[in-house]
Structure formats: C-alpha cells, structure tokens
Amino acid sequence: MIDEDIITVNGFKAAAEAAALRKEGRLDVGLIAADEPVAVAGVFTRSAVKAAPVLWSRERTARGKARAILVNSGQANACTGAGGMEAAALSARTVAQELGCEEDEVLLASTGVIGEPLNETAMLRAIPKLKAGLSPDRLPEVARAMMTTDTKPKIVQAHGEIDGHPFRIVGLAKGAGMIAPNMATLLSFLLTDAVISAGPLQSILGPAVEGTLNRITVDGDTSTNDTVLVLASGQAGFEPLTLEEPARLKVFEQALADVLADLARMLIADGEGATKLVNIFVTGAVNEDQAKTAAMTVANSPLVKTALFGQDPNWGRIMMALGRSGAEFDPSKVAILFDQVTLVRGGMQVGIEDEAAQVMRQDEFSISVDLGAGSGRAEVLTCDMSHDYVSINADYRS
C-alpha cells in the first residue's frame, strides 16, 4: 500500500459521500469520472445469479468506451427484479446528466446485502454532491466507500515507462468474504493513463485476472456482484499499445498483473476473521488445470482452514482434500511441506509435527504439495477460518 496523498492518475477524478444507503456516518458511495470517454475492459461474475449493476455494466463495457464508474456499498442490488434494473438505469442516467455524457458511458458496481432494494432516494441525493466534489486526489476515499466487512481500504499503484514516457496504474479493490475465483472475485477498478484501446486491453485483462484474482479464496463462495474494470485515459503520451507489438504491450501487461497481484494479497490478508495468510503450492500434477483444482480444493476445505487457525499440522486433512479434488495422482507419491519442513514423503509421515507446527505459528507461511504425477503446477492464496469468521457472517445483517 502507498501514501494516500500521492495517488492520482492523469485523466481521472474521484469523489465519495456518506449517503446513508444502509448505515449512517460512513462513506458508502463513490464516483470515478474520466475527463472524456476512455477505453474500458472488464470481467464479471460467472454466477448464474447476477446483480443488476453487473448486467448493466457487462453490456456497456462490451462497447469499449466509458466515462464513469458509480459504486456503492451496503446494498448489492441483487435479486431485486425489474425494480433493481430500473434503479440501476436511473442512477446511471443521473450521473450522465451531471457529467454531460451518455448514460451508456456510466458503469455501475454495488456490494452489500443481497435482496435489499437500492435506496434510490439516498443515491440520487448523493450524485450531485459527488459531481461537485470530483478531484484528482480522492481515489482513496472511493476505496473506503467500497468497503463492507473489509477492515481497511485496498489501493495500490505501479509505475512504468514505454518509449521513454512514464505511465501509471492505480488499483482499488474491496472484498473480505464471499471470495472465491470465478472470473472475478470482488469489486476492483484499475485506472491507467496508458495509451491502449479496448480490444488489446480486454485481451490482456482476462489472463491477468486468471493468474491473480482467480487464484485466491477466503471461503469458496462467489458473489453475485463480482466486477473488475480497467479504464485507460490514454494521456501517457506514447504511441498506442497493440497486440502486434507484444514487447511494448508486455511492459504494461506486467505492471497490470503486478497491481492485481498486490490487490489479491491484500484481499486474502484481510479475509473475514483471518489470522493467517497461506500460500498453497501444488506441483507434480498431470497438468496446470489439475494443479489449480487440487490447490483450490485444499485452500477451500473447511477442515484444512480450521486446522490452519488452530496451528495444527494435520496433514491428513490435506490428503483428504486432494483425494476429493478430482486430480489424478498416486497417493503413495505425495509429498507435503510446511515452508521448508518436509512432513510427508511417499504419502506417509516422515517429519516431526512439532517442527511443522512451529511454521504454522507464523502469520504467513506456505504449504507445498508434490503430487508426483507430472509437470503441472499452480499457486493459490488462502487464509484460515477462525471463530470471528462465523461471528462476522452470523451478524452481517444486524
């Protein structure tokens, strides 16, 4: 994370307001506005249950141009029927009127309680205030306005240079629970002044998300509202990046992936009730897909996650998860390590549990699994499941 005082991107302004959509006295609505229509790309939840703002933004992102993102917390505007779509359209129309743009250039994102209608009155009252408050240095406030059960805002930036011209990427994200990869896993907005059109931007966003935000899990649940959007103002000054010049594009692509990786790490470190950040490495799988499947099954297992919280190197739970993952392997060839401590080799315990338990007392550590079946490998970030996770979600709507 970086100093909030210096987070700006050429071509963008932002503002946030406490609109009391659900609770009084906290920022809960944010607006990011480009100076003019800019290139946009996005990925959205694969859940069959999609919130109104997802349906609205997915259609408009496909057009390749956007002027603004309106985001709110507190109410997801999901499972709200025709009224939810009407509220989404009204919100976009009001922002468009304030900015003097087309309503189809306004993208929407919401997070909060599923099934609650959007508080239209509060939203419409807030939008003119957001327009009046737009400033280049208020992006960190939008990061706070997006929070639900998050304990801290998540915002990072990266710098790079192409053809002697500097460029910047700023990423914002929210998410602490209902986090599991399925194309997108949260709300995340990335803003850049790089010169790139919507086509190549969309081409590189999918793989960047797959290697970062799609390799994390808190609880195995995928939201109705998952949205990742990238907007590019094109003000960095270099010639446009294209798929035909992969070396130039790679510089930007790597910076984008780095920002997403930093955000992914912040999300898992701030998982609901989390006390441990754990890297699950799987190697020796038949292929990469099976490695990812095996790693994700271990990372999502409630029995494994509670053992992580208890600092108990119960490797049998890891073997159990691997066995039901669908990955192909011979159990008699499996090795399991906690950091550098080998606890299992040849599918049997060979190490000392107390040494593995010592590793698990750290706030962050890794569990490495070698399936001995091939060259496939994958890494997944997860966290433990504590008593607080249950308490937070039992009281979520209170």
Domain ranges of the chain: 4-269, 277-394
CA distances from 304 to 3, 38, 157 (A): 36, 45, 33
Place of tokens 């499972």: 79
DSSP 34: E
Q: What is the model's pLDDT at position 181?
A: 58
**Strand-strand pairing, 376-383 and 216-217:** parallel
Which superfamily does CATH assign the domain made up of 4-269 to?
L-amino peptidase D-ALA esterase/amidase (3.60.70.12)
Domains 4-269 and 277-394 share a fold: no
Is 185 in the active site? Answer: yes
Distance CA 191, CA 127 (A): 21
The secondary structure of the chain in percent helix, strand, coil, rounded to multiples of 5, reads 35, 25, 35
Q: What is the model's pLDDT at position 4?
A: 44
Q: Dihedral, CA atoms, 156, 159, 162, 163, nearest 10 degrees?
A: 160
Q: What is the model's pLDDT at position 3?
A: 43
pLDDT along the chain (398 residues), means of 10: 68 97 89 98 92 96 97 94 96 98 97 90 96 97 92 93 97 77 75 98 95 86 86 97 97 97 91 89 97 95 94 96 97 98 97 96 97 97 84 65
Neighbour tally for 7: CB within 10 Å: 22
**Alpha carbons within 13 A on the beta-carbon side of 272:** 25
Q: What is the model's pLDDT at position 47?
A: 87
**277-394: CATH topology:** Ubiquitin-like (UB roll) (3.10.20)
Contact 374, 284 (CB under 8 A): yes
Neighbour tally for 346: CB within 10 Å: 13
- Catalytic-labelled residue, pool 148, 185, 222, 227: 185
**Alpha carbons within 13 A on the beta-carbon side of 225:** 31
Distance CA 105, CA 115 (A): 26
Radius of gyration of the chain (CA): 22
Q: What is the model's pLDDT at position 125?
A: 96
